[in-house]
Amino acid sequence: MLKSIAVLAIVGVASTAGAHEVSKGPNGGPVVDVAGHHVEMVAKGTEFVLYLTDAADKPLASAGTKSARAIVQDAGKTATVALSPVEPNKLVGSLAQSLGKGARVVVSATLADGHALQARFAHD
């Protein structure tokens, strides 16, 4: 568990350098701008979805995304959630339980074009 917390802290610090929250997205989740890409996080029940768009808010293909995962810290527990690309522009995973208020989520992935994507969210 200590290792997971350390990874969460390291990735969290790295992601804040190039990412900032923009607003609520079209699917109702918070949106983070990461180096010209927008990432919207939507968590409903145990379904966890990230929507990827470009700077002009056009869908960004998720096909070919590698090493996609979310590190979730919720209620004192840390878990890693594998994310799978689902066309046209989603990364999808399953949570063990619904996200609680104040849960922290750090996402990392490598897009098909080689761009490293890192984003950090706080669940309200």
Provide the pLDDT for residue 19: 52
Provide the pLDDT for residue 21: 54
Mean pLDDT of the chain: 87
Local confidence band at 123 (pLDDT 50, 70, 90 cut-offs): very high
The residues spanned by each domain of the chain are 2-122
| pLDDT mean over 84-105 | 97
Strands (DSSP E) found in the chain: 19-24, 30-34, 37-44, 47-54, 66-74, 77-82, 84-86, 90-94, 104-110, 116-122
111 or 6: whose pLDDT is higher? 111
> Per the structure block, which two tokens stand in for 30?
């918070």
| pLDDT mean over 53-81 | 96
Q: In this model, does residue 121 exceed pLDDT 50? A: yes
Provide the pLDDT for residue 26: 95
How many other C-beta atoms can be found within 10 angstroms of the C-beta atom of residue 11?
18
| pLDDT mean over 30-45 | 94
User: What is the topology classification, in CATH, of domain 2-122?
Assistant: Immunoglobulin-like (2.60.40)
